[in-house]
Amino acid sequence: MPHLALESSVFAQGLPIPENREALTRMTSAAHAAGATPRITAVVRGSPTTDLAADPAALERFLARDGVRKVSTRDLALCMAQHGDGATTVAATMHLAASDGIDVFATGGIGGVHRDAPFDESGDLVELARTPVIVVCAGAKSILDLPATLERLETLGVTVLGYRTNTLPGFFTAHTGVSLADRVDSVEEIAAVWRAHRALGRTAGLLVMQPPPAADALDAALVDAAVEDALAEARTARVRGGAVTPFLLAAVARRTNNQSLRTNLSLLEANAALGGAIAARLARP
């Protein structure tokens, strides 16, 4: 049975309660429907795992956000040594998935270059450059500097494919005005690119960007205004480091009357469906 990796940070930090449980249900159901087994990565009391759901008590702790820290690749060893519970980000999920032989990973949006501090960029980008996993996402999060993020991915040698789109998706919105160089229109094309990628000995990831479902995508102007307000709020509150992204996403949700939250749930489900279909296709000759 093909496997699809999911990141536990989406459930433990990225979404509020009870929407995090709804996201879990929708993503796992979509993966199963596409022919793949969902595998949630995490660190559970010091032990890295790619099957958090196999421990129901641990999964409930993560959904309750009970003492669960946010863990990127750099934090994995420390979390293990301290016997902690760690919810894995995109970067950490890629590492654990690749270590366990899982080729495909579905998430919401990747991290990237921050708007207010261009020297502040997510570890997701470096991990994409060095870890061979297909990452299905809705682009980079709208709170980021999207053109700069795409430029960094190009510099790092990460192949970016627009799935049925010529435009970089902006997480909450389908249209950002930033063009993508490469487009694919089928799961078969993605599988063929991945096989060629691996045949070349490339050790980088493959980034597949799918716009949020049209019925739930937000207007770009609405998102931009909400993000600017959220950034101002973050500056006033002096939010720093790993707390920035969940803070900004929550602020954007408030400013869009929770429309962005509905979009987030919708795109997570859609990405799990696409990721599951890719995993199922790769399992066939």
The residues, any chain, with a CB within 8 Å of residue 37's CB and separated by 6 or more, are 1, 2, 3, 4, 31
Write the single-letter amino acid at 41. Answer: T
DSSP string, 163-184: ES-SB--BSS-S--SPBPS-EE
Cα–Cα distance, 187 to 191 (Å, whole number): 6
In sequence order, which residues have a C-beta less than 8 Å from that of residue 117 and are 6 or more positions away? Answer: none
Residue 48 CB contacts under 8 Å (≥ 6 apart), including other chains: 41, 42, 76, 80, 96
Q: Return the closest-CA partner of residue 68 out of 151, 10, 109, 134.
A: 10
Q: How far apart are CA 45 and CA 67, in angstroms?
A: 11
Distance CA 65, CA 44 (A): 13
**How would you label 237-251 residue by residue, b for 16+ Cβ within 10 Å and e otherwise?**
eebeebebbbbbbbb
User: Which residue in the list 70, 121, 141, 269 is annotated as catalytic?
Assistant: 141
What is the C-alpha to C-alpha distance for residues 36 and 255, in angstroms, rounded to an integer?
36
* Spatial distance between the Cα atoms of 50 and 219, rounded to a whole number of angstroms: 36
The verdict on whether 141 is a catalytic residue reads yes
Quick check: is 7 catalytic? yes
10 Å Cβ neighbour count for 204? 18
Give dist(CA 218, CA 196) in Å, integer. Answer: 35
Catalytic hit among 7, 19, 121, 269: 7
Query: Which positions are annotated as active-site residues?
Result: 7, 141
